[in-house]
Structure formats: structure tokens, C-alpha cells
Structure 1
Amino acid sequence: MFSANIKSVHNSVKNIAAEHLSKPNKNIHQALMMAEIFKTAEITACTLVSETEKEHMECKAGCSVCCRVNIPVLLPEAIAVKEFIIETKSKSEINTLKIEMEKHLGQIKFMDEEERIFINKKCIFLDDTGRCSIYPVRPLMCRSVTSADASACKDAMSMIALNESIPVPMNIKHKNVMETAFKALAESLKEAGLCDKSREITYSVLHALQH
């Protein structure tokens, strides 16, 4: 049953992408495409994960322990974030954000994940309260993380900074759904003759905002 649902996610994402990637005005259609892909992945994950499992998920608004790792995004995901920013921020706020993103990108450009965690360099899209300011359009790889132990997340981040690793209990079914959607999207981009390479979120969204 689980394998069938994963295959269904893969096929659904491919079908959604095929419908949108062939249309003109790619920014709008790719943002709409991502909204459909996010919805499909979230509904599937919600269906597969039991209520008991959901009760054990400790990820919640304001918990940003894991938001220090390098998040890979595909171009349509970056475009979805860009469109969300344009819709929710003023021109002045966007210009300020661009400056902050350029500064942030310069600081993390040559950092590996361990270095970024060690100096506590958090995601540029976290607000002052530790909440995700782009939550409705957060990337699939962000959505894949569902910790069942907040303290384990903190310990894992500390150990990564020391070049060691410890496991973090998370819901594998939810994780597999989001990762499958990501891979299916990448496949669709390649088949459409578009770039299927993922880039770090700060770089990708800044590039989208500048073009």
C-alpha cells in the first residue's frame, strides 16, 4: 500500500509538471504548479501518517533548530518563493531583503554544513521569532523534516558541528513522500529541457528576484 501511494505521488507530480511546464509565462505557471505539487504531497502525507504518529511530531511554529542546514531547491520552488515575496512584501521591504540575502550569501558561500551549524547561521527566511516567513511555499526538502524529538534535533545539530552524527527520529513515510515529489519534479524539469539541478535556497531565490 505504501509503495503504491509513493508511486501515485511520483505520477501525480509528473502529470502536474507536464501540464504547467509547457505553458508560457513560466514564472506564474511554475508558482501555480508548485502550489498543486505542495498540496498533493501534503494531502498524501497526511493520509499515510496516522493520527498517533502525528501526535509524536514535535515540529511546530517557532522551532527552528534544523533551519541552519543548506536546503537545496529546484528552480520552480525558488520561483514560488519569489512570487510569494512579491505578493506579501512592499518594494522597499523586497529591496531590503535582497540586500540581506546578498550579505547572507556572501557569508555562507564557502561554508560547508558543519561550519554553518557551528556558527549558528540560520536560514535567511526566519523571522525574529524563529518562524518561517515563507511557510506556505517552503521547499519540499523543508517539508520532509518531521522530528519526533525536539531535544534530539538540538543534540544532532551540536554533533554535526563537531563533525559527528546522531540519528533524529522522524516520520519516514512523510519524508519519503516529500523526497519523491522532489525527485519527480527534477525528472520533469529534465524531460522538459529545463535545469534539473538544485541550488542552495538563498542563492536560488535571490537569483529569481533579480530576474
Structure 2
Amino acid sequence: MVDNVLAILRMGEELADLAVDQFDGVTDPAGIAPATTRIVARVEELLSTRQNGGHDVRIACGPGCMTCCTVNVSVLVPEAWTITAWLRQRLDAGEVDRLAERLVAAASAIRWLDDADRIRGGVTCPFLDERGWCSIHPVRPLMCRALTSADPAQCRRALESRTSDEEVLLECNLLQKYLMEQAYRSLAAVLERRGIDSAGRELVGTVARFLNEPRLADEFLAGRLITLPQS
């Protein structure tokens, strides 16, 4: 048991060091997405190693399961930029403009809604496609990756309990939650040390801003104050 805990803590320390190695020297927007992607890839690799070692994974999430896609999601600026860059690689200029317009409208609609309001109203993430699948799944935020469920029905009850006085705990993969959140904290720490924006931002509005104003990535790396939606 002690060895297992120590191994997990060492993973967390590795992610902290990796965030420094990957992001400390990024001075050009072109380097943001590769650095962010490598950090996320290492977390996934660590999780895969544990799973292949026979550890109990117990994740029931799958394509079209969108129960948790009604909660507000916090992203760091590099994550939002990575999503933006990924979308720009796959969409033509007209599609980018139309998507940005939809995201601006969605961000405005959820601006003052907390999780309970969104769950109660069934206000889902605008990145879901017509099937209910995540259209940005390969580059989804760390906080989305952190949230898992071992039982779809129990997951729905846990989310619904946020709209009442009842408290239903979400049974999830704790290792995945810890490592994804640790990667988020490690990246935020690197940004803070560099004196650039390390605050958690609201996913939809921030991606919309970057789609409309790509120059903001330069402002971010230069440490200039830019107005982005707070999470």
C-alpha cells in the first residue's frame, strides 16, 4: 500500500518536472500546442502503464455518454489555445467563423450559470456533435479527462444531486483524477512562475476568443494582461 502511494506521488512529481521542461522555454505561439500535448500524452501513458499492470480501472465512460457534459469546465490558456489550433487545422475559414459565432452565443448563455443551473436546464457543452460525442475529444481539457465514472446510472444520480440538498458521491477512477488534476496544477505553476496568465478560464468563451483573435496568444506569452472569461 505504501509503495503504491509512493509510486503515485512520484508520478505527480514527474508531471511537475515535465511541465517545466516542456513549457518553460515556449516563447512562440507555435510551441504552445506541442508542449501542452506532450504533457497530456505523458499522463495518458502513465495511466496506460498502470492499467496494463492489472490495476482496477473501472471506467464506464464511452462515446455518446454525455452526462458530465453539462458542467462548467475550467481550462488554462495553453489548453484553450491547443483546442483552437486543433480546430483551425481541421476547419476551413468559413467553418471557423461559424463555429466561433456559435461558441460566442453559447458562452453568453452559460455565463452566469453554475453547475446546478446547467444540469437543471440540460445545457450541454457546445462541443458535442449531433450524436452527443465530444467533437474535440483528442484535445479535450485536463479537467474533462479528470472526470470519470464507474457506473453510468450512479454518475447521473451524482450529477442530478447537485440540483438538490441530496448528496450522491461520484465513484470515479481516483488515479486518473489525481494525475489529470496534477498536470493542470503543474502547468499553472509554470505559467505563474513565468509571470503569465495562470488562472483557470471558462472553456467555451476562451476558445471563442482565440478563434476570433489569434493574436491573443502572443499577448499571453508576453505576459500582457488580456481579458478572458474567468471560470
Structure 2 length normalisation: TM-score?
A: 0.84
- 1:105–1:202 CA contact under 8 A, matched in 2: yes
- 1:52 deviates by 5.8
What CA distance in whole angstroms lies between the structure 2 residues aligned with 1:171 and 1:154?
16
- 2:133 matched residue in structure 1: 131
2:11 matched to 1:8?
yes
- 1:48 matched residue in structure 2: 50
- 1:208 deviates by 1.8
Secondary structure in structure 1 of the residue aligned to 2:135: coil
- 1:114–1:163 CA contact under 8 A, matched in 2: no
Unmatched tracts of structure 2, length 5 or more: 214-231
Deviations 1:69-128 (A, max 9, x none): 011000000011001100111111111111111111111111111101110111111111
Unmatched tracts of structure 1, length 5 or more: none
- 2:223 matched residue in structure 1: none
Superposition RMSD in Å: 1.7
What CA distance in whole angstroms lies between the structure 1 residues aligned with 2:95 and 2:117?
29
- 1:10–1:181 CA contact under 8 A, matched in 2: no
- 1:203 deviates by 1.6
Structure 1 counterpart of 2:155, which letter? Answer: C
Deviations 1:44-69 (A, max 9, x none): 12223454623x31100110110010
Which of 175, 178, 185 matches 2:177?
175
- 2:146–2:176 CA contact under 8 A, matched in 1: yes
Give % identity. Answer: 28
- 1:147 matched residue in structure 2: 149
Q: Which aligned segments of 4 or more residues in structure 1 are displaced greater than 3 angstroms?
A: 1-21, 49-52
Alignment coverage as a number of residue pairs: 209
- 1:5–1:44 CA contact under 8 A, matched in 2: no
- 2:88–2:96 CA contact under 8 A, matched in 1: yes
What CA distance in whole angstroms lies between the structure 1 residues aligned with 2:47 and 2:5?
11
Secondary structure in structure 1 of the residue aligned to 2:168: coil
Which of 24, 39, 45 matches 2:27?
24
- 2:84 matched residue in structure 1: 82
Q: How does 1:194-209 map onto structure 2 within 5 Å?
A: 194-209=196-211
- 1:143–1:178 CA contact under 8 A, matched in 2: yes
Structure 1 length normalisation: TM-score?
A: 0.92
